[in-house]
Every structure is written in C-alpha cells, then in structure tokens.
Copies of this chain bind each other. A is one copy, B any other.
Amino acid sequence: MPPAPNPELRNQRSHRAILDAALELTTRDGYTKVTVEAIAQAAGVGKQTIYRWWPSKAAVVLEALNDLTGPAGRVPDTGDVAADITVAAQAVTHMLGTDLGTVWRGLVADAQGDPRLAEDLRESFFEPRIARWQERLDTAVRAGQLRTDVPTRTIVELLFGPIYYRLLLGTDRLDPENTAARVDYLLNGVGQR
C-alpha cells in the first residue's frame, strides 16, 4: 500500500484549479467526454496529483459539485409547509435542468458501477439533504399539517423520486410547474374523496 498523502501539505492552488477545471470541462464538453488527463491539463497539473487526492474522475466532479452548491441548507420554514416545499423542490428542479443536471447524470451513471462512489454520493450529498428535508417535515407533522403515520423519509422520496425519474430516464422534461403540481397531489392525494 502506498503511503497515504499528507493532506496538510496539499497545494491549495492546484486543488482549486482541479475543481474549477473539472466543472468547466464537464459542463462544456459533457461529463463522459472529459478525461482525467484533460482535467489535469486544463488545471495545469500533473495527472498524478489528481490521483493522489481522488480515486477517479467522478470523485473529483462530485467534490466540485459539492463545493459549488455548498453544504445542504435548511429548508425554508414560513409555517406553510406546502409553500415551503414547493419553493425548495422547484429550486432543485431548476438546478437539475441546467448544465449541472447533465453533469449530475454522469455522476449518478458512474455510481451505478462503482459502490465506493455511490456511497460517497449518498454520504456527501443525498443524506445531508434528506436530513434537512426531514427536519422541515417533522416540524410540519408536529404542527398538525401532515399525517403522523407516514415516515418523513418516505415523503422525501415521494417528492424527489419523480424529479430524478425524469432526470435519469428522460421520459419528460424537468419542469418547475409540474413539480409544484406534484406537491398538491402529494398532500391531498390523487384518489377521489
């Protein structure tokens, strides 16, 4: 086993340049077309410097994306749960509709065949965001706005499942209006009263 590199000696300039180049290239040329070598070159960095700190192109891009979006933020709480989750879910929908959504698709694709990356994706991205959503929904449950017999984690899946479904299967365009409508269906049910 090669000795683990010492993070304290890490060159911050290179680090930044790599993340910037990764984002720049993947959004411009498409995730799949970008190679580790191209990122290294664009960042003015040796290929080994990338492999010293990340195990793969995907890991670099994931960090670049996480770095761009910042840590998971709290879901807004105005007291009106329907309005709050509509706004927040629409923001996600909008983001996934840009170039970043395309990069994101590449990342999720790579994760299908790379368990370590999948784990990293969940831990660094999905779980923190799911947790923030659950906090907001728990508040709503306590406020008597949501059923008490539905796990909030399941509600999160009901909200985001259809968004990722469209993103990854491409059956329909990602559309904030549709996202808003879905919140209504979700809260009130699609069954006839």
A interface residues (Cβ-Cβ under 8 A, vs B): 30-32, 82, 105-106, 108-113, 118, 121-122, 126-127, 130, 144-147, 150, 153-155, 157-158, 160-166, 168-172, 178, 181-182, 185-192
Contact = CB atoms under 8 A, between A and B. Distances in A.
Most buried by B among A182, A187, A192: A192
A121 B168 CA distance: 11
25 contacts: A31-B113, A106-B113, A108-B109, A108-B168, A122-B169, A126-B169, A126-B171, A145-B191, A146-B190, A147-B190, A150-B190, A154-B162, A154-B181, A154-B185, A157-B165, A157-B166, A158-B182, A158-B186, A161-B164, A165-B165, A186-B190, A186-B191, A187-B189, A189-B189, A189-B191
A162 B178 CA distance: 16
A151 to B, nearest CB: 9
A191 B181 contact: no
Chain copies in the assembly? 4
A154 B106 CA distance: 25
Looking at chain A's contact residues, the main secondary structure is helix
A97 to B, nearest CB: 15
Contacts of A187: 189-191
Contact of A154 (B168, B178, B192): B178
Nearest to A158: B162
B144 A192 contact: yes
Given A171-B126, A171-B127, A190 B112 contact: no
